[in-house]
């Protein structure tokens, strides 16, 4: 079982993004800032292209987040711990995931409001970039947790 947990940790380190799942190059988990994402996508050209880029980043970050959550659950399953603590950890991961969704919504609404009187489309771009950035921050956190769990596997 320790070999499986070690393999899980190794898989987490090489977790592919949605880009690699679609045939693009694999990349290490990262957590670009909201500003960096907007800057990167602004190079796409028009505002419509920027929106499409940020929507793509959102889809990638959502997929990466789901993969990281699944990896933590796999690591918990291989944890050398009493079943009640394993279940408690799973329950708390679920609660933390729900709280993250609420936090992300509130934080990104705040980030959107920082745009002030900008037109709605520009405000939406801020919101999209914020959502992707926070998803990737959470993904990094989950990677770290899964690595810690894998080191304590059976």
Where are the chain's structural domains? Answer: 2-15+51-151
CATH architecture entry for 2-15+51-151: Up-down Bundle (1.20)
What span, in angstroms and rounded, lies between the C-alpha atoms of 53 and 98?
26
pLDDT computed for residue 148 by the predictor = 85
- Whether 3 has a pLDDT exceeding 50, the answer reads no
- Report the share of the chain in percent with pLDDT over 90: 65
pLDDT, tens digit (0-9, with 9 covering 90-100), for 38-89: 999 999 989 999 999 999 999 999 999 999 999 999 999 988 889 999 999 9
Specify the higher pLDDT residue, 64 or 6: 64
Specify the higher pLDDT residue, 7 or 15: 15
pTM: 0.78
């Amino acid at each position: 079982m320790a070999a499986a947990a070690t393999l899980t940790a190794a898989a987490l380190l090489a977790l592919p993004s949605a880009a690699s799942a679609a045939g693009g190059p694999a990349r290490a988990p990262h957590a670009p800032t909201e500003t960096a994402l907007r800057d990167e996508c602004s190079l796409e050209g028009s505002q419509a292209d920027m929106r499409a880029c940020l929507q793509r980043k959102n889809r990638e970050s959502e997929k990466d987040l789901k993969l990281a959550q699944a990896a933590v659950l796999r690591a918990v399953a291989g944890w050398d711990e009493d079943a009640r603590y394993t279940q408690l950890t799973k329950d708390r991961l679920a609660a933390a995931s729900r709280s993250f969704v609420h936090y992300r919504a509130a934080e990104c609404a705040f980030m959107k409001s920082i745009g002030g009187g900008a037109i709605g489309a520009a405000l939406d771009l801020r919101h999209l970039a914020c959502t992707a950035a926070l998803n990737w921050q959470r993904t990094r956190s989950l990677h770290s947790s899964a690595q810690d769990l894998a080191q304590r596997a059976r």
